[in-house]
Structure 1
Amino acid sequence: MRFRKLHYFVTVAEELHFGRAAARLHIAQPPLSQQIKAIEDEMGAKLFERSSQKVTLTPAGAAFLPQARAMIENWEKIQESVRGVATGKAGNLSLGFVWAAGTPHFSAGIASFKQNNPEITLNLEEMTTSQALDALHAEKLDIAMVLYNPLMDTADLEHQHYESQQHILALPEHHPLAELAVVPLIKLHQLPFISFARQAHPSLYDQIMHHLHSAGVEPNIVQVARLTQTTRTLVAAGVGIALVPDSTQFDQREGLTFRPIEGKLPELAIHFMWRKNSQSPLMSRLIDHLQEHGVRSQ
């Protein structure tokens, strides 16, 4: 049965008058009577008692009325849900992001997006670039924010720039280099170094080592940390120094300080990445929102 016929039945049941019901529905009375007769034939039950004085619901009609209303309401909810997904105003989205993306304006952008879109579920997970790319290929993520390098194999992926950051030096608070306003790169030679694991961000790791070696710096790597949180803890504890994204300084902690570096190091380009031909309206809305929020926060 078409849902339009349900509207006809419910309207007549509410008005108990074919003329008023036809006026509400903006159709002529004879076609309305024909539609009600067609419903009764389809249902195999008489729904209305008609006389020249009045129209009343039969027991079958009275039993059908709440079910008809429920079907109409459910159909409207289904339509609203489908429209929401089609326009990117409803649905689920999984986002993996590298630690460098965790800036205050990123957090504020996610928070405002969720607040303004209560029908959307965002599943967020911090990952390394390698983990995020693997999850994209395995279709465990819809979109990722990774440290992008042109040498990456992105044949089956699409990407869009989000923001760029510079490297800064994380130091124990009372380290001799903390007395400098800017630290020349050469002063890092042979100092105890805390590094991230190469497999986490292989392209970035190789670029950093290339620039260090080109500047005559041989880092004395004393610890490899899997997580940036661990790196900050180890630096604050005096285990060594570390090169970190400038967004790291937003997470202040006791015993830790940061200094800009004089010398050439690779830029940290953070890109959105997703599988080709998979960009949904919801994904586009999130990307646009985060881009705009980031620009306004600069």
Structure 2
Amino acid sequence: MEVRQARHFLAIVDHGTTGRAAATLHVTQPALSQSIVALERELRAQLFVRSTRGMTLTSAGETLVQPARSLIESSVRAIAAIEGSMDVPRGELTLAVTPALASTPVSPWVARFRARYPHVMVRLLAYYGDESVETFFDRHGVELLVTFDGAPGADRVRCVEGGAQEMVVALPPGMPVGEGPTVRLDQIAHLPFAVAPPNTSMRRLLLAAFEQIGAPLHVSVESPFMDALPSLVAAGAGAAILPAETAGTLRAAGSVVKHPDPPINRHYYLYYSEHHLSYAAQAFVRTVLSGL
């Protein structure tokens, strides 16, 4: 079995149909089908049961999955070893990022990477969390993704925690609170809040914090435009929980900024494709890990 055949086989295993697998591999569906038929002929075993609903593995096919993954991984490592001996990755690297993390920590990561590997052009792609990490990898062909949460695939996607984003409490101008730098959430739980949409990490974080103190969350404004939340707070539309890096902007607009007690943090993660990692992407992962 060749590496190309292993990629074709695993693409169908991972996507369930030749159509979706062919689209991911950027090959035609007939060519992919012919490749699998040739592989079955070579192995003298039927690997899939074909139906109108897709492709289901036979017992022989299930036996082949792990060896196929090992073959691809060995191929990736071999190429990386050769390229690594030269230590000069080139070309382009696409990095998907949740917008709230583009400034910190992704910008410093990219700057460190570019300082060491100036021949690689980095392209940032927005990830809004409206689809799973694994699905996003499949549909957009990215190798790396930085976001707050998500469920990595069992075999194909790995993740490493990159750190935590500190949050602050932003209150409308003139809001009477204590003189200290902190405020307890139960002291302001009666206030209306400007919030992110449901099913976003910001909204889940806020709901979890309110659930911890046993209080309901009163929503005054729900906005997908995160850049608008500081302006909404400054205009008196409600309080908000926002990244600490916005504190300067909030204070300049007249808002009251406090640190929550206890602290509220959002952990973020670097996700990467286990079996389709170019040398440039491997170098980026190493750059990030070296700074953690």
**TM-score normalised by structure 2 residue count:** 0.60
C-alpha distance after superposition, 1:12-34 (max 9, x if no partner): xxxxxxxxxxxxxxxxxxxxxxx
The offset of 1:273, in angstroms, is 0.8
Unaligned runs of 5+ in 2: 1-81
Please say if residues 205 and 266 of structure 2, whose CA atoms lie closer than 8 Å, have aligned partners that are also in contact.
Answer: no
The offset of 1:98, in angstroms, is 2.0
Distance in 2 (CA, whole Å) between partners of 1:279 and 1:250 is: 38
The offset of 1:288, in angstroms, is 2.6
> What secondary structure sits across from 1:129 in the alignment?
coil
Correspondence for 2:239 among 238, 241, 248: 241
Task: Calculate the aligned-residue CA RMSD, in Å.
Answer: 3.1
Aligned ranges 1:47-196 → 2 under 5 Å: 83=83, 87=87, 89-103=89-103, 106-130=106-130, 133=133, 134-148=135-149, 152=151, 154-155=153-154, 156-177=156-177, 179-196=179-196
Q: Partner letter of residue 270 of structure 1?
A: Y
- Structure 1 residue 286 corresponds to structure 2 residue 284: yes
Q: Partner letter of residue 289 of structure 1?
A: T
* Structure 1 pair 239–178 and aligned structure 2 pair: CA distance change class (3 A): farther
Q: How many matched pairs? A: 208
The equivalent residue for 1:259 is 258
Distance in 1 (CA, whole Å) between partners of 2:285 and 2:277 is: 10
Please say if residues 191 and 240 of structure 1, whose CA atoms lie closer than 8 Å, have aligned partners that are also in contact.
Answer: yes
C-alpha distance after superposition, 1:170-205 (max 9, x if no partner): 22343223744211110122211011112333xx64
C-alpha distance after superposition, 1:249-274 (max 9, x if no partner): 36565234421111375x41110012
Please say if residues 206 and 241 of structure 2, whose CA atoms lie closer than 8 Å, have aligned partners that are also in contact.
Answer: no
Distance in 2 (CA, whole Å) between partners of 1:213 and 1:115 is: 44
Unaligned runs of 5+ in 1: 1-81
> What secondary structure sits across from 1:162 in the alignment?
strand
> What secondary structure sits across from 1:122 in the alignment?
strand
Q: Partner letter of residue 199 of structure 1?
A: N
Q: Partner letter of residue 96 of structure 1?
A: A
Greater C-alpha radius of gyration:
1
Distance in 2 (CA, whole Å) between partners of 1:245 and 1:271 is: 16
Aligned ranges 1:14-33 → 2 under 5 Å: none
Distance in 2 (CA, whole Å) between partners of 1:289 and 1:179 is: 42
Distance in 1 (CA, whole Å) between partners of 2:187 and 2:99 is: 26
* Structure 1 pair 85–171 and aligned structure 2 pair: CA distance change class (3 A): farther
Distance in 1 (CA, whole Å) between partners of 2:83 and 2:263 is: 50
The equivalent residue for 2:25 is none
Distance in 2 (CA, whole Å) between partners of 1:278 and 1:199 is: 29
* Structure 1 pair 234–272 and aligned structure 2 pair: CA distance change class (3 A): same
The offset of 1:283, in angstroms, is 1.3
Q: How much identity, in percent, do the aligned residues show?
A: 16
Distance in 2 (CA, whole Å) between partners of 1:140 and 1:251 is: 36
The equivalent residue for 1:273 is 271
> What secondary structure sits across from 1:176 in the alignment?
coil
The equivalent residue for 1:209 is 207
> What secondary structure sits across from 1:141 in the alignment?
coil
The offset of 1:86, in angstroms, is 8.1
